[in-house]
Amino acid sequence: MIRPLYSLVLIGAQPFLRRKLRRRGAAEPGYLHAVEERFGRYRAPAEPGALWIHAVSLGETRAAAILLERLREREPALRVLLTHGTATGWAEGERLLRAGDRQAWLPWDTPGAVRRFLDHFRPSAGVLMETEVWPNLVDECRARHVPLALANARLSEKSLGQARRLSRLSRPAYGGLAAVWAQTDADARRLREAGAKVEGVFGNLKFDAAPDPSQLAQGRGWRAALGLPVVMFASSREGEEARFLDAVRVLGDAAAGIRWLIVPRHPQRFDEVAALVAARGFSVARRSEWAAPPQDAQVWIGDSLGEMALYYGLADCALLGGSFEPLGGQNLIEAAACGCPVVMGPHTFNFAEAAELAQEAGAALRVGGMEEGVRTAMELAMDRSRREAIAAAGLSFAAAHRGAADRTAEAVLGLVGRRGS
């Protein structure tokens, strides 16, 4: 009886979900696009048989881009249905589309919406990226013999605890997947405990991402011309920027010779963070307001999408967003691949193994809190020999863990062959 009750709760929540979309849409207009698709109502006709890939947000869409590149190398005529749950995921996904591809919102996980979604698109197979497992979606795909896999799969101890508490709902959902390809052995263990059929430990797709060389070169060129150390707060989260600015202020005159760069994780917070910086008494310049070189200011705001390689090239070192509050941290792989040393806080449970491996490899430093992190980053930015050693370790660390994209692409193409089995 648990899944019917879950479905009733979601059906009853639909008016609140519409209200939430309107609120989000005020800050991010992308959330107001094709709202009815969220409820399984699609207007444009769709040709059946596409490979469906669900990438809920920005990070998952970037991982999907790596996988898509390898899939298209093997199957140039591959047609793809790309679905998302966030406006940033959609915006990033638009850049991946080719002729014959489709993009849509994945509907809320009510039985009717899921049936309408599958009736409309009739995919050959489905790939969910990283963590997105929905009970009704999995059950309906299984009933229709649409093979559905979880790729680049990860499950933290915290999420496993939630799955245990809701085991009557989560266990059939994980168990109903046709295949699960985990990032790490630890993820595989947790996923199996949750009920999943783990068919392989393939590594993290994000290690196979190649930083944009032109962006990296531009950022490094700007840094060289500036002649001052640059410390970046990468993918910062709500609550962290205020603590970061307070820690910079504590440094006093020692901070005057540093340029501080904040790149917020969520674009809807760009204005909020810029206002916070100004309210703290710092001069501020936004990436959207300068082309080259950066405008002179105490604090820069990286308020653009798709330019992380430029920011990592510009920075001498980076603090890892999401790791200074109990938010689980953000992905540090791109920083390592760009040769940017990382200083991370105590909270990296969403990427625990990658963070531990980076620390062991000498590619990242662990600190106990924000004030220590800002001081460590400043010292590192001014210590060229130590910084270059950590950067080299980061490049080696990133190179040593590549290969997930090829393994996953082969498994996905095998999944398509399971249709009807």
- To the query of whether residue 60 is one of the catalytic residues in this protein, the response is yes
Contact 244, 215 (CB under 8 A): no
> 357-368 burial string, b = 16+ CB within 10 Å, else e?
bbbebebbbbbe
CA–CA gap between residue 185 and residue 108 (Å, rounded) = 31
Catalytic residue among 37, 47, 60, 325: 60
Q: Do residues 341 and 378 touch, judged by C-beta distance below 8 A?
A: no
Rounded Cα distance between 133 and 73, Å, is 28
Strand arrangement, sheet containing 259-264: 284-286, 299-301, 259-264, 230-236, 317-320, 342-344, 364-366
**Strand, helix or coil for residue 280:** coil
Phi, psi of 104 (to 5 degrees): -155, 165
| Cα-to-chain-centroid distance, residue 240 | 18
Nearest of 304, 361, 303, 305 to residue 332 by alpha carbon: 361
CB-based contact 129:152 (threshold 8 Å): yes
Tokens linked to 138: 């999995």
| Composition of the chain by helix, strand, coil, percent to 5 | 55, 15, 30
Which residues are designated catalytic?
60
